[in-house]
Chains A and B, each alone.
Chain A
Amino acid sequence: MTESSSFQRVLPVADLPAGAKKPLSIDGRPLLLCNANGKLHAIANVCSHNEKPLERGRVGNGWIACPTHGARFDLVTGKAMCLPATQPIAVYDVRVVDDWIEVAVPV
């Protein structure tokens, strides 16, 4: 079964400057917006290793590292890059419309 998704308006672009992260909850789903290296990313705000939040994690060149045990995830694909995580995290499409960030979340 394929999940469908629709874009939801979540945050003014101005509220997410370069290098910033912003945790959000959409329909009870914890998300993390990142403005990293000139790109916007929306990822699950939950580490796939032991379900701790990622929002205090370091963002590098295309990755975020869980602050609890150090699992790293690719910001574009969600793929786990190192132990102790082996499973990916969810990533969501992002777009900017009328100076607002919109995220495609499953419906």
Chain B
Amino acid sequence: MSEVKEDQRQAAAASKGEARCPGAPSTQEIIAADKVAAPGWVRSESYRFLGDEDISKDRYIDAAYAQREIDTLWKKTWQFACREEHIPEVGDYHVYDLGPYSFIITRVAQDDIRAYYNACLHRGTKLRASGTEGNAEEFKCSFHGWTWNLDGSHKETLCSWDFPHVDFKKLTLPQAKVERLGGFVFINMDPQAPTLADYFGKEAKAHIDAWKLENRYVYLHVAKHLPCNWKLAIDAFLEAYHVIETHPQVAPSNGDANTQYDVYGEHVNRFISPLGVVSPHLYGKVSEQDVLNQFTLGDSSALGDTKFTLKDGGTARSVMAEMFRGMFEQATNTDLSKVSDSELLDCFSYTVFPNVFLFPGISLPMVYRFRPDPQDHRRCLYEVLFLRPVPKDGTRPMPAEPIHLEDHQSFKEAEGMDPGFGAILDQDTDNLILQQQGLEASAKSGLTLGNYQEIRVRHFENAVSKYVA
């Protein structure tokens, strides 16, 4: 290669990922114009160009790749197992499954939560069924009655005279590592795993600390199996690039093409997708009143039947911020006086590798969790949890029970789900079976990604590659 051509190539590489939506304000410029200023974690950017090679499609369609993920990735990463409010009292437990793995997450003492491998040490029977909760003074196997104390030490074996070869003092229930953050209980099967703080990295953890998600509770919990590989489902929620085609009803009130994307270390990334502003794809085609009318909420039940009207000269975004603050305060019995317009309005989507999305905003106060189907690499379990602030009087409601939707059901059918938001989730997930099938049918060997708008997909898949390798 000539020296001139190499210089040109390096110059082109240096500029990769620097392009932004032409003619549109940046997310930061939109937020800077807001009346109530946003905190530092909102007012920052952290984009890095991570390459532009295609992502090999094997990882989505190859059962052997899924098995390698089970053997490597899932055994070495921190996973959200439950919220602390799922196990509020000593002895409370919550069973968390991931693929073939199963854990009893239990509160051994007021400030001591443990994750026991969910299997009897006699002949392997699960000590508690999957997908359940309860309270235990001891864990007794339903097969032969071998029993363990809450602290994991062996308590009792029927006919112990027949087991002279077993050292019962050493027969404690094996544990995974447990750490807590923002009311979430995380577990990791790897004894050598980094701390959760190191796993998040300093900057990303500072963001999560600032949200104080420990002061929220699960208001609604909906679960549904999706007909695709778990990573395809995650990829679908990592960008706003799809909004104009997949969710045309949302675009009038979503800055999709000028959404901001950030990556932090290896395990956390985010976008800030401004709401209450028109999509750059629709400039000149919709009015500010249209923007107001189309604003989408994840938890609109908090607002009742209120309709909004634009005053002369006002912007939809400013009107929405002003009205939201008062109405969400009233509906959720909380103080939002110091919360910025951006936190009230915008969609903040953070991914914690490998399978959790956190949305700390007020209008879309959600958590997503994706888990592979242990029997079929072309299926996964998707859960959406809505978190509301704990009421000012401190009374923490019981977390909502999961609503399990059948494959054919719409998210709109889940009791408590905002119909408009349910329709958006249907649109998102209806694409996925076509994508799974299309990848299997395709003559092309990989997925091609945009340098900026799809950087979270690349960041996520890079982490997958690292762990599976």
Contacts and interface: CB of A to CB of B under 8 A. Distances in A.
Contacts of B137: 56, 67
B398 interface: yes
A58 B129 contact: no
Interface in B133-189: 133-137, 140-142
> Chain A contact residues: over half helix, strand or loop, or mixed?
loop
Bin the interface of chain B by size: 20 to 34
Contacts of B398: 37, 60-61
B103 to A, nearest CB: 14
Interface in A39-76: 49-50, 56-58, 60-63, 65-72
A32 to B, nearest CB: 15
A82 interface: yes
A49 B134 contact: no
A65 B129 contact: no
A35 B130 CA distance: 27
A37 B397 CA distance: 9
A66 B134 contact: yes
A49 B140 CA distance: 14
A67 B136 contact: yes
Interface string A9-34: 00000000000000000000000000
A82 B404 CA distance: 14
A49 B141 CA distance: 13
B131 interface: yes
A57 B89 CA distance: 12
Contacts of A68: 140
A60 to B, nearest CB: 6
Interface residues of A, number: 22
Contacts of A83: 129
Contacts of B134: 57-58, 65-67, 70, 72
A77 to B, nearest CB: 14
A106 interface: no
Contacts of A104: none
B384 interface: no
A71 B400 CA distance: 19
Nearest to B401: A61
B56 to A, nearest CB: 40
Interface in B110-136: 127-136
Please indicate which of the listed interface residues A56, A58, A71, A84 has the most CB atoms of chain B within 10 Å of its own CB. A58
Please indicate which of the listed interface residues B127, B136, B398 has the most CB atoms of chain A within 10 Å of its own CB. B136
Nearest to A52: B140
Nearest to B95: A70
A81 B95 CA distance: 14
A70 B401 contact: no
B92 interface: yes
Contact of B135 (A50, A58, A71, A84): A58
A49 B89 CA distance: 25
7 contacts: A49-B142, A57-B134, A57-B135, A58-B89, A61-B398, A62-B401, A67-B135
Given A61-B401, A65-B133, 5 more contacts: A58-B89, A58-B92, A63-B401, A69-B140, A83-B129
